[in-house]
Amino acid sequence: MKKLLGVALAGAFSLAASQAHAAGELYFYNWTDYTAPDLITKFEKETGIKVTVDTYDSNETLLAKLKSGATGYDLAVPSQNFVTIMVAENLLEEVDVSKMENFKHVAKAFRFPEWDPKQMFSSPYQMGTTSYALRTDAGVGDCSSLKEFFEPNEKASGSVGVFKTPEEVANMGHIYLGQEFCTEKTEDLKALQALLQKQKEHVKVFSSEGTMDRLGSGVTTISNAWNGDAMKQRLAGQKVKYCFPKEGVVGWYDSLVIPKGAKNVENAKTFMNWLMKPENMAIQSDFAKYANPIEGSGKHMSKDMATSPEVSVPTVPVKFGRSCGPKYVKAIDKIWTKLLQ
């Protein structure tokens, strides 16, 4: 009997082991500093699926990767305007997110968004704003106007950090200049180019990674920033302030999508569904310091999220990036290539 039990147990054990193996893998391609390590550990433990995370620095880099063909990735995280482009270019698998069990936790206002009206391709990740942050001890401004970033004072000269790719910077420029997003007017584009070229005289670095570490350590005094990254620096005790200038900030809503041709579509869907559970999404928001549209996730988060000045937008306009026409995209590419020369 004892022996029999032993054999049965051994059998059960090897079955469990092979199930864990069969659960397989998930290749997750995400922005730098945007995947909570605890989230991945918990997911692996609960599902047996092994996750590998690779990172990128911008929507532009992600789009270029997906366009280059088979990427080997099962999940990626574009912002709303890039979901539009990826759907139009047939770069995504259809997943029918509204049929998933945990879709019920998505706040009504965020269901079936304009960029994915049937919720066929994308499930929620995080949302936030793009602006600039500054060192409060550097005399470079008080966060009142985008002028501080685009036309910095002499104290900021030589220590400005700007993102490496144009989309969000151009949109901030449009806001500062009072222009429409996606403008194709020659005079608008000329004015934007002049503004960026002038700003360049004060720029220390064009980079979208490590921006807040450089600000925290004083390599830069004023820098492009996402609100969550800036909040992390403040909580770490640095004299860093995220700015909501009077002209406004750029808004974004990032989603999980499955690149066309992904090898582990079922595992990617499992992750999408799993992340819509309030207690799981809370882990991600707590780590990255961004808001999310999952109802009930707030009560699982640390207090600093509820009271954070970086997350609650004061009364300044928030303008969400849109996908623009080819004429605009070409013009911005040209402006940016020249800028980085």
Q: Segment near ligand N2P (CB under 6 A), from 31-39, 152-160, 258-266, 272-280?
A: 31-39
Using CB under 6 A, pick the residue from 27, 28, 29, 31 that binds ligand N2P.
31
Residues 200-239, interacting with ligand N2P (CB under 6 A): 226, 229
Please select the residue that binds ligand N2P; options are 20, 23, 32, 298, rule is CB under 6 A. 32
Closest separation in Å from C-beta 101 to ligand N2P: 27
- Tell me how far, at minimum, the Cβ of 34 lies from ligand N2P, in Å: 4
State phi, psi for 54 to the nearest 5 degrees: -120, 155
| Options 25-33, 106-114, 136-144, 232-240: segment touching ligand N2P (CB under 6 A) | 25-33
Examine residue 247 and tell whether it contacts ligand N2P (CB under 6 A).
no
Q: How far apart are CA 186 and CA 196, in angstroms?
A: 15
Q: Which is nearer to ligand N2P, 165 or 264 (CB)?
A: 165
| Residue 56 contacts ligand N2P per CB under 6 A | no
Binding to ligand N2P by CB under 6 A, coded x per residue (else -) over 68-97, reads: -----------x------------------
Q: Which is nearer to ligand N2P, 82 or 150 (CB)?
A: 82
Does residue 188 belong to the site contacting ligand N2P (CB under 6 A)? no
